[in-house]
Structure 1
Amino acid sequence: MRILLPNSDGHLSNYEVTGTPIAKASLAHDSARRVYSAAHVVCDPFAEAGSSGTGAIDWNKTMGFRAHLVDLGLGIAEAMDTAQRGMGLNWFGALELIRQTKATFPNALVANGCGTDHLDPAEATSLDDVRRAYLEQVEAIQDVGGRIILMASRALAKVAKTPDDYIKIYNDVLAACDQPVILHWLGEMFDPALAGYWGADSFEGTLPTVISVIRDNETKIDGIKISLLDAQKEIVMRRQLPGSVRMYTGDDFNYPELIAGDEQGFSHALLGIFDPIAAHAATAISKLNSGDKDGFHAVLDPTVPLARHIFQAPTQHYKTGVVFLAWLNGHQDHFTMLAGAQALRSLPHFVECFKLADACGALSRPELAVERMELLLKLYGVR
């Protein structure tokens, strides 16, 4: 099957679609690795967003994608940055998303993003403002029976002056949580407003603060996800965690080696890239569970070039590539996003994304993908 694709200068050449879609396998409930896919939302292109932030979501298609993840045995990291949290999805929309997922999949493994995004950082003047904002979201999520991923706070990054300020806030918020939570350390490459989070400018200066929070609240913490795109930093931190606390990799560049682990341990997974390559994740980790480490790498390693492309700088625009692939693979009928985020990557980016997805078997329906890629090219004036 061939398609005419442009290069960065617009010159067209034949591209042969040769990839074999990954054969699906469902991850067992007793998997040695706990695996969450941070899931995207499907925009309703006919709806106005409205002041509530809930009106522009196609709930049927959004829940349909989550059914796809559940069928593969993956957990859902709900209402996170992959769902355009704070970048098109506000807190009110996020809470409705959390409610809908809980109602639709009451027995699924789901953890939900909890932050302070209803508090405008410009209006935050004190730690008390941040504390109240966190506790409001904690209460709302726990009221619907949801488990929590405690997200980093732009407002806290603004008002905190010292590492002790972070420690105070996290101690207070964790005390209010009724189930162990996943802490979420998002690097500034994902959100520039989080630069200097935890009260230091370097990883080495930050690590003691984070470890202190974890050790002081060990029974309240299931694990920590770090998204720093640096495998060595994750490994250094992983080796300092208490035995009861999981490391969840959020490294969309180096996830195979971190999940596989070494003689001193391994990482679980909470990844945005496990949205478009969910079938690869379930298949690869099933192989790892059976002791087939080579088979694990044979499935997952070829997806890394695609992941690095989708998450290339500016990294916060990775959601566009995630939704693009969901459209190519038939999980939704259009390629529009909340806040018009489909426009945040260039046509050459989409072309390369198509090629890399084909190369690793991430085009689950190649004929449909070709048909839709041709539609996109026409939209951009490519004949």
Structure 2
Amino acid sequence: MAIYVMLAVVLAAGYRWLGRYAMPVLRLGQAELTAIARLHWLAGMGFMFFAFWLESFGQLSGLGIGAMALLGIYATLEGRSREEWTYAGITGLTVAIAQALNAFVPTSVLVWWGAPAACGIGSLLYFRDWERWGWSSRPWRGYATVLPIGILLFITLWRFASPPVVSLLIVAGFYAGLALSSRRIRLSYLSLFLANWAIAKIFNDSGIQEPLWQLAVLCLSGLYLIQVEPSLRSPDSRDTRHWLRCLAVGLFCFRISWSFGGEFVPGLLVAGVGIGLAIAGLGLRVRSLLYVGTLTFAIQIARQLIVFASQYSLALWGLLTVVGAFFIWVAATFEARRSQMTRSLGERLAELQEWE
């Protein structure tokens, strides 16, 4: 079957590029010769699909791959006149390359070097000046964009192998660079997905089963998406961004408080996380970090007092005496400074409304 495909490609190429010498004999115009050549190419594709259906491709792997590559090359060369042919040619070449990798490349080599090589090829294809050579750059850039993630999916779903962490991080870096250079920020979501995949593999290989760390990765990813998602960047989405950030940070704080807040010393660390988030909110002028961090700190301090009371009841009475004296002093001086404090509080609340 592959021989029929090759014959169809040879005839198509002959009619397309050598037919002008036979035009006086055949009494056909260039348009008719081009149409005949493309019909031969379509016949070759039909033979190839029939070979796939009969599963004869595996029996003639070398010839079949060569025939598919010839079909792809022909269509790619035709793509100078019409962009659709470039897509068809790239698809044919992709199928040929995938079959060649499956037939001739060992799984171990493909797992370790497939994705980095795809990133290198993708970079060359994406930044090449295709217009100067007569092609539209859009098909080539689209192919360069999907090639690395396609290789990873090929390794995972077809070869049933798990890509190494290094390969995942290299592909993540490729999409991050592509997002920056092309100013298509949503491409960085692929980087985020691959980075999370790599972190999950690290956790699994290290035996880390604590849900807190997995939740921390998800919450950080959510904060990144909230920050860069174009549909959430408008001023009208300000409140939506705020509540989504509160949800992401609140889930993490709830989980860390649930896991470690019931004991005295670990509970102090939870309170430290809360005050750290509050300070970060002040520095970054982000309300969600300030609010959730302050709330976490206050709740954890209350829990710490309960734990402290159950273990050191006498010391608790001394602490409550000091706290009570402090509140008496605040009450005594509040009336004299009420107007100043009210004005200052109003200014701070107004300033908070301008924060992210």
Higher helix share: 2
Query: Where on the TM-score scale, by shorter chain, does this alignment land: which range?
Result: under 0.3
TM-score (norm 1): 0.22
Going by fraction, where is strand more abundant, 1 or 2?
1
Larger of the two Rg values belongs to structure:
2
**Structure with the greater relative contact order (CA < 8 A, sep ≥ 6): 1 or 2?**
1
